[in-house]
Structure 1
Amino acid sequence: MTHIFEGTGVALITPFNHNSVDFNAIRRQVNFLIDNGIQSLIVNGTTAENPTLTEDEKDQIIQTVIDENSGRVPVIVGTGTNNTQRSLEASLRAKELGADAIMLITPYYLKTSQRGLIAHFETIANAVELPVVLYNVPSRTNSTIEPETLERLSQNPYIVALKDATNDFDYLADVQSRIDTSEFALYSGNDDNIVKYFDEGGNGLISVAANVIPAAFQRVYTDADNREKNFEPIGELLEAMSVDINPIPVKYLASLKGFGQYEVRLPLVVLNDAEQVTLKAAFDKFQAEVQA
């Protein structure tokens, strides 16, 4: 099996307009991203404010993205929760709607053992029979997929990739020593480490900031001889975006690009006026430098 994608995938935001999902903005953004070199669309993940969406909204978002994409790039749907049965039902629904793959986060709050992780992921993968991207983000879940566990899971024919948001290169090296990287893809889940991640053999990135600067991220992957140089303006923008937690800053920048109003759903709150001014200045500087 070939990798689902190589290069930059985008963890899509959910644009809102007066607290309703802005489906027209989703359509515009899908075309913008694909036109600017994005290799995969990741739907209904953390960046999409998944926990605040109704089941009906999630289904409509999936269908809107799949329809607008029209088979141009793979669509991966985030269906993982800390409830195996609920994750399974969401995964089957994503398959019914036409998803190319699903992404499963490690269970959070209701934590489990490594044996439990194997049972959880394999139960879903074997029932759904779609390619599965595992999502390891211990900073949010306080749970991790140990390298030995990933080695076992990589032997499942449906479990084909990892979104690695550990930012731990010892972990990456251990994983690489245990799996067949020609069959199992490794994607960074951290925008700020991609130069090293790509240089160390990673297959791509599932990005937040690429919602607004897709071509710049894809260039870092494809232009291996100039990675550090191409990343410099991205790194400066990411520093400005660290003013608050994801997806609060990127949704402000997306609103500047015309993808929805600047709205998030509680418990998230928008940047204050001074923070918005500072972030806009950083974004304007980025655009001037990259387009010069």
Structure 2
Amino acid sequence: MSKYILETKDLSYKYPDGTRALNNINLKIEKGKKISFVGVNGSGKSTVFLNFNGVLKPSKGTVIYKGNEVKYNHKSLLELRKNIGIVFQDPENQLFSADVYQEVSFGAMNLKLDDTEVRSRVDEALKNVEMQDYKDKAVHFLSYGQKKRVAIADILVMKPEIIVFDEPTSSLDPKHSKQIIQIFDELNEKGITVVLSTHDVELAYSWSDHVIVMKDGEIAREGTPYEIFSDDELINNCYLEKPLILEIFEELRKSGKINTTATIPRNKGELFKILMDSNLN
């Protein structure tokens, strides 16, 4: 069995108004990995995501899930969306029920599960996002961050193999952003493939196993976080920024103040350890 759970081959998409959003996208997403898409607004990230689970149908090319080409009949799309869930940037666009329990149970009920299984899945999904104490609360009384968590639970109740997040930390303060990322890590530890788009280069650098850079509807480059963010030409051409941790490390290494064989840091803790081991004055 292939290690790639989701692929696209020559994927292109043109909107009805003639806007060409994607041009020959070829991707292979490995099962169980943490994947970040980066790129400026309009680069095609959200359009790729909507093609992943059949919300949009390619103008050309194919989407392949677990080795099988995606078909666009009703039955096939229901099965696909059960396994590939998308959490949209603004939870207001995803939530529509009166209270939290009704909201999260909707997807499970559509799977024609019995009441016991529905309750079990809803309880598990709410526990995973730490919203179990809010299951009877009206959705419109929730904070923005709480609505984000409920939107995630909406997808978890389907027990997907892939969850796709479009700008998951936008409009969140640092505390709630960290909580959302912790949820992603816990989901990934359970074997779920987590895919997200983000403008936060610090997040993409520190969190991801693999980074995909998009520009003008095409893939500019993909690789490890270090491969991507150490490529100064790529960063300039795609209007990105170098993560601060990596920038500090590279400047210190260039100046000879730290060991040139030091492991490249991915987070503040690793950078601090390098600084302490180097005995900087």
Give the TM-score of the pair, scaled to structure 1. 0.40
Question: Quick check: which one's strand share is greater?
Answer: 2
Question: Quick check: which one's helix share is greater?
Answer: 1
Give the TM-score of the pair, scaled to structure 2. 0.42
